[in-house]
Amino acid sequence: MFNKIAIILAGLLMSACASGVYKPEKAPDLEEEKKAFTALSQGKAVAMLYLSMKRKQCAYGYMQAVNLRTNENVNIKYDLIYLKPGTYYVHYAKCGDEYVNFGSYGTTEANAALKKSAPTFTVKKNEIVNLGSVNLLRVKGKYLLSDDRVLPLGIGSSPERIAHLKKYYPNVMKKSVTRTVKSEAANKIISLIAQALADKAKKESLRAK
């Protein structure tokens, strides 16, 4: 469904950041893999998540996510992220010169608002999980009857990303499971836009008859 919506909204997407992918010095990166399995033995999770626009990985892109239960804030910048089990909310994302703040946190009111607007993901103890990408789309205000808005969509990893992870972290990838980031607010808005565009096309078709 969302592939079709992405095609409909292709003209609304913001310009992609320059191509760029973090690359370790060696392939495979045995030192980082050792670090990953050590983290698992300590009860942590190993996650893989990247930022993209127009489904292309951002150059020098990174995100910040917070566990609202513990107030632990983490930077998501490199290929492998070591996290305590729990649910995290992405509150900040930077792609090249573009950045998006999905909300603050720390108070009851701010946390409640962040839960409604931010992309979210959950990791489990002793789990290796490939979370795909948070893909940023800018939708023009005329489609929302308001200012332009950046929507974060959780999508699967690109073939290039999968190849990169398998090249540098083959043993980690063999034991990984796959999930995508959730973004209910973005999904609802895109569904509304898609419906509005479909209604508009239907009206124009009726006028043409």
The average pLDDT across 27-45 equals 96
- Measured CA to CA in angstroms, residue 29 lies from 35, 48, 158, 172 at distances of 10, 15, 21, 10
In a domain, 207, yes or no: no
Residue 41 is assigned to a structural domain of this protein: yes
Of 149, 148, 157, 150, which Cα lies nearest the Cα of 181? 157
pLDDT in tens, 4-23: 444 334 333 333 343 456 67
Residue 91 pLDDT level (bands cut at 50, 70, 90): very high
The confidence score (pLDDT) of residue 153 equals 86
The residue range of the domain holding 162 is 2-201
- The more confidently predicted of residues 96 and 6 is 96
- Residue 100 confidence class, pLDDT cut points 50, 70, 90: confident
Task: Indicate whether 206 belongs to any domain.
Answer: no
Q: Is residue 18 part of a domain?
A: yes
Distance CA 194, CA 209 (A): 23
Asked whether 24 and 36 are in contact (CB, 8 A), the reply is: no
Q: Is residue 208 part of a domain?
A: no
Confirm whether 74 is domain-assigned.
yes
Chain mean pLDDT for the chain:
82
Is 186 in contact with 151 (CB distance < 8 Å)?
yes
Does residue 206 or residue 86 have the better pLDDT?
86
Per the structure, the count of domains in the chain is: 1
Within a domain: 128: yes
3 pLDDT more than 50: no
Question: What is residue 29's predicted lDDT score, i.e. its pLDDT?
Answer: 95
- Span 97-113, mean pLDDT? 87
Quickly state the pLDDT bin for 76 (edges 50, 70, 90): very high
pLDDT value of position 146: 59
Q: Look at residue 4 in the predicted model and tell me its pLDDT.
A: 47
pLDDT tens for 163-204 read 999 999 999 999 999 999 998 766 666 666 667 677 777 777
| Confidence tier at 103 by pLDDT (50, 70, 90) | confident
Q: pLDDT tens digits, residue range 113-154? A: 888 889 999 999 999 999 999 998 877 665 555 566 778 889
